[in-house]
Amino acid sequence: MGYKLDGSNVIISLADPGWCRTDLGGPQAPNAPESTIPGILMGVFIDDGKSGRYFGAQEYDGMTLEEAVAKAEAKPSPYC
């Protein structure tokens, strides 16, 4: 879907929170739910028109929102 919409002002991205300690993930999961922030928010803050990005939230754990956005913007779309 991201490939077909690339350049159309519609951005399709995939955000993966990782295995988190929630009702779904259970108590043995290695990641706290709050570790997904700001990684889960990347699709909201990046508006460069590139579709098809994958955001693994755990890649941004411990970063400020500004650091995470800068890292994500440097990551190319797989379709561009």
Q: What is the mean pLDDT of the chain?
A: 85
pLDDT of residue 29: 97
Q: Look at the chain and report how many structural domains it folds into.
A: 1
In a domain, 56, yes or no: yes
pLDDT at position 26 over 70: yes
Q: Which residues span the domain enclosing 32?
A: 2-74
Q: What is the pLDDT of residue 1?
A: 73
Burial track 3-42 (b if 16+ CB lie within 10 A, e otherwise)? eeebeeeebbbebebbebeeeeeeeeeebeeebbebbbbb
Does 69 or 43 have the greater pLDDT score? 69
pTM for the model stands at: 0.76
Q: Please check whether residue 26 lies inside any domain of the structure.
A: yes
Residue 8 belongs to some domain of the structure: yes
Q: Is residue 53 part of a domain?
A: yes
What's the CA gap between 61 and 31, in Å, rounded?
10
> Percent of the chain at pLDDT above 90?
39
Q: In this structure, is residue 79 part of a structural domain?
A: no
Residue 80 located in a structural domain: no
> What's residue 78's pLDDT?
61
